[in-house]
Amino acid sequence: MTNGEKNRLKDKAFQVFGVFCTFIGLVVLAIFLIDIIMEGASRIDWDFLTSLPSRRASRAGIYTAWVGTLWILILTSVIAFPLGIAAGVYLEEYSKRTKMANFLEINIANLAGVPSIIYGLLGMEMFGRVMGLGGSLLAGALTLSLLILPIIIVTTREAIKAVPRSIRDASYALGASKWQTTWNQVLPASFGGIMTGIILSLSRAVGEAAPLIVIGALAYVPFVPTSPTDEFTVLPIQIFNWTSRPQADFLVNAAAAIIILLLITFILNGIAVYLRNKWQKRVKW
């Protein structure tokens, strides 16, 4: 065999290996989803969605967990979105290229890399103890807001960056002020991108368990939270709790709850992808 033939053979071999590697992740994903559905799908019924937790696996439901998750999503949105978008707008539209701006940028990149459980420690001390919120929904939402803030800021900046200079110039030429330009031109034009980032950040928040466990969210909550100061549990914590029990029946419950959690995650991501494609197609500068 000549050198050239050998090299071509190696080339082919790597191609096969490449296909193999690309599919191994997808195959594992498929096995996993099928396994979860086989195990949990039959457990999902109306009672499962509307029952309180119970010591008996067959009677336990996820009512408190999904209501808690919904509360957390809404509160986190209300806190994190205005803050994150405002910070993104400031960094992209207002701030000058100073040392301070540079520092802010590095700092935000750093925050994005801080493990979620560290945010839990921060939330427990700051919101739980110093502000006296304990293990309440509000403390949890504040903690998760800090966690997703860097994602919102970064995606807001990217969306705003994509708006061409000429739009701003045209607005200024008509006599609009900086804020008028930002509010009436730049933000509407970057709306799609900002929404995409926001929904992705929510899908991140919905799956988080670690920081909420640290601030003291409970594994067993026998009531549905009705105000932001109530104690709560969320779906991922409920899943964790059921997974760590020895009885097999609880694993079935966990699988069923996972199906619900994955549905929420996939729907959120689906909306984000849809928005991204829609805006990419519609807006042609």
Minimum separation from the CB atom of position 227 to other proteins (A):
24
Q: Which is nearer to other proteins, 34 or 164 (CB)?
A: 34
Pull the structure tokens for residue 266. 């996939």
Q: Which is nearer to other proteins, 10 or 161 (CB)?
A: 10
CA distance 26 to 144: 30
Minimum separation from the CB atom of position 21 to other proteins (A):
4
Distances (CA, A) of 116 to 129, 148, 204, 244: 19, 10, 11, 21
Q: Which is nearer to other proteins, 139 or 149 (CB)?
A: 149
Q: Which is nearer to other proteins, 41 or 86 (CB)?
A: 86
Q: Which is nearer to other proteins, 88 or 192 (CB)?
A: 88
Minimum separation from the CB atom of position 137 to other proteins (A):
17
Minimum separation from the CB atom of position 282 to other proteins (A):
19
Minimum separation from the CB atom of position 44 to other proteins (A):
16
Q: Taking Cα atoms as reference points, which of 273, 93, 132 lies closest to residue 215?
A: 132
- Half-sphere exposure of 63 toward its Cβ, with a 13 Å CA cutoff? 17
Q: Taking Cα atoms as reference points, which of 142, 128, 274 lies closest to residue 205?
A: 142
CA distance 255 to 253: 5
